């Protein structure tokens, strides 16, 4: 089943709880792509390590499917996607690799994620 995979920009977007975030949540629920997947590497980018300042993000992350491990094949696939795209961070590449096949990456960084997804199997990009 396809999954929605979030990058750090998307985690921050959903954590803010705007009406647009609630609308996108409803769409993902209707598409049976909720709760979203968040690779643990994304936490490095969306948290600052201060409980008080991370409270909204941590509250949102409690409902997400945090993928704590990155299997070797996914890591190698992320490396290939990043090399082929010639851009994007390692974390961005992991997000796209986790979304394969046929998943949706929800992102605030459409330029890099779209470049990475261009070589991914069936991955689509949804901007926040």
Residue 57 has what pLDDT? 97
Instruction: From 39, 96, 47, select the one nearest 69 (Cα to Cα).
Output: 39
| 78: confidence class by pLDDT, cuts 50, 70, 90 | very high
Residue 117 has what pLDDT? 98
| 127-to-22, 51, 82, 108, 113 alpha-carbon distances in Å | 14, 28, 20, 6, 10
Could you read off the pLDDT of 90-106 as tens digits, one per residue?
A: 999 999 999 999 999 99
* DSSP secondary structure of 30-44: HTT--SPEEEHHHHH
Residue 60 has what pLDDT? 98
Residue 3 has what pLDDT? 96
SS3 category, 1 = coil
Q: Are 108 and 128 in contact (CB under 8 A)?
A: yes
Phi–psi pair at 125, nearest 5 degrees: -120, 130
The first and second tokens of residue 120, run together, are 């991914």
Calculate mean pLDDT across residues 100-116: 97
pTM of the model: 0.95
What percentage of residues in the chain have a pLDDT greater than 70? Answer: 100
Residue 102: left if φ>0, alpha if ψ -120 to 50, beta else—which one?
left
Residue 107 has what pLDDT? 98
Calculate mean pLDDT across residues 50-79: 96
Could you read off the pLDDT of 21-38 as tens digits, one per residue?
A: 999 999 999 999 999 999
Delineate the domains of the chain, giving CATH numbers in brackets: 4-127 (3.40.50.1010)
Taking 90 as the threshold, does the pLDDT of residue 51 lie above it? no
């Amino acid at each position: 089943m396809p999954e929605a995979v979030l990058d750090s920009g998307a985690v921050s977007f959903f954590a803010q709880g705007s009406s647009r975030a609630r609308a996108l949540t409803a769409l993902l629920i209707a598409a049976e792509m909720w709760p979203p997947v968040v690779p643990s590497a994304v936490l490095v980018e969306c948290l600052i390590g201060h409980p008080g300042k991370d409270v909204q993000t941590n509250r949102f992350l409690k409902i997400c499917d945090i993928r704590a491990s990155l299997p070797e094949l996914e890591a190698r696939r992320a490396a290939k996607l990043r090399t082929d795209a010639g851009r994007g961070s390692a974390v961005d590449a992991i997000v796209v690799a986790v979304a394969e096949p046929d998943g949706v990456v929800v992102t605030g960084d459409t330029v890099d994620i779209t470049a990475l997804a261009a070589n991914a199997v069936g991955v689509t990009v949804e901007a926040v």
